[in-house]
Amino acid sequence: MPADIRNRSTISHADVTALNFVRSSTPYVFRRHFRQGLRSHIMEILDPTHVEVEKTGKMVAGVRCFSKATPHRMFRIFRGRLKTLENALFEIGRVKIVERYLAPDFMARSTECIVDYRGPEGRDLMLCGFQEYVAGEILDPWTILGAADLLPALYETFGCQDSPLTLSKDNWIETVREKGSRFITKVKLMISEAGHIPDLAGAGNLIITASGGIRLVDINNISGVSMDPSIHLDEKGYPVCDKSIEALALIEEKILGRPVDMKADIYKWFLDPNRRRALKAKEALFWKRQAGN
Ligand SMILES: Nc1ncnc2c1ncn2[C@@H]1O[C@H](COP(=O)(O)OP(=O)(O)O)[C@@H](O)[C@H]1O
Ligand SMILES: [Mg+2]
């Protein structure tokens, strides 16, 4: 018997349609997305005719073109175990907080569902989501260069794709700055008013779109923000709240092209040099454990 779906390293269309809560006669094709994280299985939901065109190509001005099928939606299966229904509802409650501040412009909306999964170990609650698909390039706070290099480089990447950009490079950069500034303001409001922050630190969690938008796609690791001297770790041992605030500061600095205000409460607290030293030690421990897995 196959292992619990949450423990499998990869899954396929057949694994999804074999799930007790998915109709086996679904007309859609489920395909593993080319980007994956640690916490979820991310599956594209595709129209079979689009998959066919992707394989056989179509003639455009006498040339056979093979363009990638665009997902209707993404199907995500959260790998984490939900101990109780209350736990599951609590997680969904946190997603609602993020929605209140970031939807619809700055996040990929998701219909979150708690399902009764029948797996090899019996019945269990599982968290799934049907999420909007966001096309674009990853905005990685840890590798972004100076603002002057980051945005033109991203613009060039889009220029190579088959959907042509409608904005000139200068207008696109201006749009990213304007939307980025609104995104940062909303995240800061979520921190100050609702005391929560999504995971801005994880690989691929933020996507920058061809029209210059910034959207959060990973909504499964939202943490409470408190000015507590101890550094909070998530269930994987990662100091996600501190790292997300550090990521926010980097995005602010790189996209807006100016240093952050170190007198602002959150930055003063979380970016304090002594705290940063302690954070580095926690982070090193996390990566050491990851390497050992
Ligand atoms: N709705 C989506 N649209 C486009 N890409 C997505 C979407 N959801 C996830 N991805 C991509 O899949 C990868 C893993 O997704 P993520 O939500 O970060 O999963 P995890 O919870 O495992 O960290 C990321 O690189 C992300 O960019
Ligand atoms: Mg992620």
> Which residues contact residue 66 at a Cβ distance below 8 angstroms, ignoring those fewer than 6 apart?
54, 55, 57
Q: Which atom of ligand 1 is nearest to the CA of 38?
A: 22
Query: Best mutation site among 10, 34, 35, 111 for ligand 1, i.e. most ligand atoms within 8 A of its Cβ?
Result: 35
pLDDT tens digits for 83-137?
899 999 999 999 999 999 999 999 999 999 999 999 999 999 999 999 999 999 8
**pLDDT value for 249:** 97
CB 138 within 8 A of CB 206: yes
**pTM for this model (two decimals):** 0.93
Token pair, residue 26, equals: 């679904």
Helix (H) or strand (E) holding 292: helix 273-292
**pLDDT value for 152:** 80
**pLDDT value for 293:** 73
Q: Which residues line ligand 1 (CB under 6 A)?
A: 33, 35-40, 42, 74, 108, 131-134, 138, 202, 204-205, 207, 217-218, 220
Low-confidence stretches of the chain (pLDDT < 50) are none
Local structure of residue 4 (DSSP, 8 states)? P
Say how far apart CA 257 and CA 60 lie, in whole Å. 41
pLDDT tens digits for 196-215?
999 999 989 999 998 899 99
